[in-house]
Structure 1
Amino acid sequence: MQQPPDPVPALLDGPPVQTSDAQDLLLGYLEWYRETTLRKIAGLSDAQVRAPVVPLGWSPLGLVQHLGWVERRWLRWGFAAEQVVAYPPGGDDEEWTVAADVTVPQVIAAYEAEVGTANSAVGAAALSDKARLGGRFTAPGPAPSLGRILFHLLQEYARHAGHLDIARELIDGATGE
C-alpha cells in the first residue's frame, strides 16, 4: 500500500513552515543564516579557514569576523544606540583580516557573543520600533525601524552565505546548504 505524501514537506532552510508572523520569519531566517555561516566553515583546517581564497581575496574566517562587526554596527550601535566601537581602527583591512595570534575558536566566540548581545538588544522590540538615537543614528529622520534593519541584515547574510558557498567549493569542493 502506497503512503500518502507528507502534507507538510520538510523545508531546506529557515523557520518552521507554519511560521507566518513577519517578525518570527525575519528572526528565524536571520538565525538560520547565522548557523549556515558557521556550518559553511565547519570541517576546514586552520590553514584553510584562515587563507585568503583566490580570487576572492578574503578568508572564510575573515568573513565570520566581518559579520560580527556587522551585527555590532546594525543592532548594538544602530538599533540599540549602544556606545560601542563600531569599526576596527584599521578599517576594512582589519575587519576582514584575522590576526595570526587570534585563534579560530576566539573569532567564533567573539562572533557568537556579538550575535547573543544583538539578540538581547532586539528581544522585546517590535518591527515598527525605530532605532534609538545616539548611536549610529543621531536624528529621528534617518533612524530606520527594526524591521528595516533586520531585512538589511537578512540580505547581507544571504549574500555572504553565497560567498561562503563559492569559497568552500574553491577550497575543497564541498557544496550544499
Structure 2
Amino acid sequence: MVWKLDGLDESDIRRPLVASGTNLLGLVKHLTLTESRYFGEVFDRPFPEPMPRWDDLAARGADMRAAEDESREDIVGRYRRVWAHSDATIAALPVDSPGFVPWWPRPRVMLFNVLVHVLTETARHAGHADIVREQIDGATGEGRW
C-alpha cells in the first residue's frame, strides 16, 4: 500500500477521485486503524498509541481520508509501527488463540479468522488504491514485484 504513494506530491495523495472522498493517503490511514484494532484490541494487546475506538461514531468514515493536519510522514510512520505491532501479535500467539471482535455478529474468533479477514481487507483496499492511482497518473502497479 505504501508504495502507491511513491512519486506523488501532497495534492495527489490527498485527491479524492471517488464519490466517497477516499484518497490514497486515507486508504493507508484506514488500514492502520484496521490492523491496530484487529491485531491489538481483539487479542487484548492494544496498540500503544491513541487510535479512535471502533464504537466512536463521530470518527466513523474519517479514516478513509487524510486530514490537512495529518502529514504523509505521520500516517506512513504510524502504519509501519502498527505493522510491527501486528507482527508481534502474530508471532506471539498460536493461530488458534481466541479473540473477541465486538462489532462482528459472531464475536468469538481465533487468530486464524482475523488473519484471513485482514488479508482480505488489505487486498480489497489495495485494489481501491490501484484504481485511484491509475486515475492520477496511469500507474497500474504492474512489474512492481
Asked whether the two chains share a fold, i.e. TM above 0.5, the reply is yes
Q: Percent identity?
A: 32
Structure 2 length-normalised TM: 0.81
2:85 is matched with 117
Deviation at 1:142, TM superposition (A): 3.0
SS of residue matched to 1:152: helix
1:128 is matched with 96
1:58 is matched with 22
Q: Which has the larger radius of gyration?
A: 1
1:163 is matched with 128
Structure 1 length-normalised TM: 0.68
Structure (1/2) with the larger strand percentage:
2
2:111 is matched with 146
Deviation at 1:63, TM superposition (A): 0.7
Matched to 2:97, the amino acid is: D
Deviation at 1:89, TM superposition (A): 6.4
2:58 is matched with 90
Distance 1:86 1:69 in 2: 9
Contact preservation (8 Å) 1:76, 1:82: yes
Contact preservation (8 Å) 2:17, 2:132: yes
Unaligned runs of 5+ in 2: none
SS of residue matched to 1:144: strand
Unaligned runs of 5+ in 1: 1-36
Contact preservation (8 Å) 1:69, 1:86: no
